[in-house]
Amino acid sequence: MTKIEVNGATLAYDEAGTGSPVVLVHAGIADRRMWRAQLPALAARHRVIAVDLRGYGDSELPPAPFAHHDDLVGLLDALGVAQAALVGCSFGGKVAVDTALAYPERVSALALFGAPVSGTEWSEETEQLWDELVGEADPEDFAATAAGEVRFWVVGPTRRPEDVDPGLIRFAEEMDRRALAAELELSAIEVSELDPPAIDRLAELRVPVLVGTGADDVADLRRLADRIAAEAPRGVRLPDIPDAAHLLPLERPEPVNAALLDFLP
């Protein structure tokens, strides 16, 4: 792990390899450790940087307004990177898309896994599913909330917990407990959003865009992946990867790594 000053905050990251730069941006229920299988695989051809977003993992959270997409570009500046491909999962995909829209000259390609985009509205079906699987957990009971969120996201709506590697569930719950603590602190700080949001600006994404989901992820995100790939001028939709839900790069690293190595410039 290395730490670096970015926009007044200290961000933690891991780095490996040389070549064209690639930045890995984690899910909101995780941290940079979710990319443990991608970092060595991509480092054979690329300079790979897996970052903890501000407040998450080992990165700090100064009590000052900020935007995650500004931080990503600040990280590129601090590392002397003129342009990078961004690979994002879930919330990290949202941040990656916002970055590409706010700073198009700094992004060479986007790879998105289970990613919403800013301005996404969840369907009533997904809201009901959340209530069923996560329920009304005490937001300060991180263990209970993490268990519910991992049931929703990592197991997914179409599988049972016993269908999923128990080691994956334990690791995801541990990461999510830390992420929930981060989100509680983030709720007290002004976090700027992209304006206007990305949902109606997908046609502005001029770089190559790879979009993938797990076959067991929530239906809203699979439909959104179809929309991103259709509206981004250079969008490519991967077939849904079977027996995988929301943390696709962590759960099924082999097909994800193969797709990334084939796609990244």
The CATH code of the domain that includes 251 is 3.40.50.1820
Looking at the fold, whether 114 and 128 belong to one and the same domain comes out as no
The residue out of 158, 185, 212 marking a domain boundary is: 185
User: What pLDDT, on a 0 to 100 scale, did the predictor assign at position 136?
Assistant: 66
Q: Tally the C-alpha atoms within 13 A of residue 78's C-alpha that lie toward its C-beta.
A: 20
The residue out of 185, 211, 235 marking a domain boundary is: 185
The residue out of 155, 185, 215 marking a domain boundary is: 185
Looking at the fold, whether 34 and 71 belong to one and the same domain comes out as yes
User: Is there a cis peptide before residue 116, judged by omega within 30 degrees of 0?
Assistant: no
Q: Give DSSP secondary structure letters for 78-134.
A: HTT-S-EEEEEETHHHHHHHHHHHH-GGGEEEEEEES---TT----HHHHHHHHHHT
- The length of the chain in residues reads 265
Looking at the fold, whether 106 and 163 belong to one and the same domain comes out as no
User: What pLDDT, on a 0 to 100 scale, did the predictor assign at position 139?
Assistant: 66
Q: What's the rounded Cα separation, in Å, for the pair 255 and 244?
A: 11
- Stated pTM of the model: 0.97
Structural domain count of the chain: 2
Looking at the fold, whether 22 and 115 belong to one and the same domain comes out as yes
Looking at the fold, whether 172 and 197 belong to one and the same domain comes out as no
Q: In sequence order, what are the beta bridge partners of 112? A: 88, 211
Looking at the fold, whether 193 and 239 belong to one and the same domain comes out as yes
The one-letter amino acid at 102: A
Q: What's the rounded Cα separation, in Å, for the pair 33 and 221?
A: 23
CA dihedral 221, 146, 136, 181 (to 10 degrees): -100
3-state secondary structure at position 113: strand
Locate 95 and state its tokens.
């941040």
Q: Is 165 exposed, middle or buried (0-12, 13-18, 19+ CB in 10 A)?
A: exposed
User: What pLDDT, on a 0 to 100 scale, did the predictor assign at position 130?
Assistant: 85
Locate 58 and state its tokens.
């080992």
Range of the domain at 131: 124-185
Give the DSSP H or E segment for 48.
Answer: strand 46-51
Residues 6+ apart with CB under 8 A from 160: none
The one-letter amino acid at 67: A
- Would you give per-residue pLDDT tens digits along the chain (265 residues)? 999 999 999 999 999 999 999 999 999 999 999 999 999 999 999 999 999 999 999 999 999 999 999 999 999 999 999 999 999 999 999 999 999 999 999 999 999 999 999 999 999 999 998 888 787 666 678 888 999 999 999 999 999 999 999 999 999 999 999 999 999 899 899 999 999 999 999 999 999 999 999 999 999 999 999 999 999 999 999 999 999 999 999 999 999 999 999 999 8
- Residue pair 204/117 in contact by the 8 Å Cβ criterion: no
Q: What's the rounded Cα separation, in Å, for the pair 141 and 163?
A: 26
